[in-house]
Amino acid sequence: ELRTPNSELRTPNSELRTPNSVNARLQEIADELASVPRDLQVELLLEHARQFPPLPDRYRAAREAGLGRVHECQAEVYFFPEVEDGVVHLHADIPGHAPTQRALVGILMEAYEGTTPADVAAIPDDLLRHLGVDALLGPQRQRGFAGVLARLKYGVAQAAT
93-128 residue pLDDT tens: 999 999 999 999 999 999 999 999 999 999 999 999
Closest-CA residue to 143 (of 104, 89, 113, 112): 104
Number of domains the chain is built from: 1
Expressed as residue numbers, the domain containing 39 is: 2-160
Q: Name the E strands within 17-122.
A: 78-84, 87-93
Residues in Cβ contact with 12 at an 8 Å cutoff, skipping those fewer than 6 apart = 2
The domain spanning residue 138 has which CATH number? 3.90.1010.10
Residue 147 pLDDT grade (very low, low, confident, very high; cuts 50, 70, 90):
very high
Residue 74 backbone phi and psi in degrees, to 5: -65, -40
Q: What is the pTM of this model?
A: 0.82
Helix count (H) and strand count (E) of the chain? 7, 4
The Cα 149–Cα 133 span in angstroms is 15
pLDDT of residue 140: 94
- Could you tell me the pLDDT band of residue 23, with boundaries at 50, 70 and 90? confident
Contacts of 111 (CB under 8 A, 6+ apart): 23, 25, 26, 29
With a cut of 60, say whether residue 61 has pLDDT above it.
Answer: yes
Report whether 33 contacts 133 (CB < 8 A).
yes
